Amino acid sequence: MYTFLLTPEFDKWLKKLRDPIGKARIIARIRSAEAGNFGDCEPVGKGVSEMRVHYGPGYRVYHVRNGETIYLLLCGGSKSTQKKDIKNAHDLAERYREHAND
């Protein structure tokens, strides 16, 4: 069993999402990962991974691992904003790592 923690950035993105079915699929995907089934998930550099949700515009959820069983959900996006979202995820991961070392 894994634990996923939400950053304020991820929480804000998810709450602003206007697609109720897409939102439900994203939440279901996270629940599946909590149970150990990460499915379509690939590293995108700097310790950040991208969880792909094959629905709608191709939703993406960016996360980092913290320890053995904890994951931090950094931000989300879609295929069309992927490059910008990956840069944002890298920046957020760095910021949270610096915070963890304080």
3-state SS class at 52: strand
Identify the CA nearest to 86 among candidates 62, 58, 51: 62
Domain 3-100 superfamily per CATH:
RelE-like (3.30.2310.20)
CB 48 within 8 A of CB 65: no
Q: Write down the domain spans for the chain.
A: 3-100
Per-residue confidence band for 74, with pLDDT thresholds at 50, 70 and 90 = very high
pTM of the predicted model, to two decimals?
0.95
Structure tokens at 72: 């931090």
Please report the pLDDT score of residue 100 as a whole number: 77
Q: Which residues contact 91 (CB under 8 A, 6 or more apart)?
A: none
CB 66 within 8 A of CB 92: no
Please report the pLDDT score of residue 101 as a whole number: 73
Please report the pLDDT score of residue 99 as a whole number: 84
Average pLDDT over residues 53-59: 97
- pLDDT tens digits, 19-46: 999 999 999 999 999 999 999 999 999 9
Average pLDDT over residues 77-88: 98
Which residues on adjacent β-strands are paired with residue 42?
Answer: 50
Average pLDDT over residues 93-98: 94
| Residue 5: how many other CB atoms lie within 10 Å | 12
Q: Which residues contact 5 (CB under 8 A, 6 or more apart)?
A: 66, 70, 71, 72, 73
